[in-house]
A = this chain, B = another copy of it.
Amino acid sequence: MQKHPNLRMTRQRQVILEELRKVNTHPSADEVYEMVRKRLPRISLGTVYRNLEILSESGDIKKLEPGCSLKRFDGNPSEHCHIRCVRCDRIADAPLAPDIEIDVAGLMPADYKIIGHRLEFFGVCPNCSDKTNRDANRR
């Protein structure tokens, strides 16, 4: 069931993980590359990408903005939430969740100017869960 059954801990993978754990800046892949390059000058960017992917699948790190492969547009400009299918990446409207009045003022990093927040749901759309069921029955 695991995506990568026989993982190895290579020096590259190790260093990427270590460097990423050192900081709390949520670097991009390219920034990770620069960090790691100081210790492994010959590492390639492709390796960094591959390992970030693998490490996030194994749960050692987290990839932010999952399923945000491309921008999407909504003809309805009024305020409402969305639900994203984690399988097909499509987005549907969520009948506006109660406008959650979150008391954030005190909780946020003091020096940040808070503008707003966004609440997004994710799940599996009818289409994709049908597909799963069909596949399961086939076996």
Contact = CB atoms under 8 A, between A and B. Distances in A.
Contacts of A118: 119-122
A92 B72 contact: no
Contact of A124 (B25, B30, B113, B129): B113
Interface in A25-42: 25-30, 32
Contacts of A92: 24-26, 109, 112
When all copies of this chain in the complex are counted, the total is 2
A50 interface: no
Chain A's interface: helix, strand, loop or mixed, by majority? mixed
Interface of A: 17, 20-30, 32, 52, 56, 59-65, 68, 70-77, 82-83, 85-86, 90-95, 97-98, 100, 102, 104, 107-109, 111-126, 129
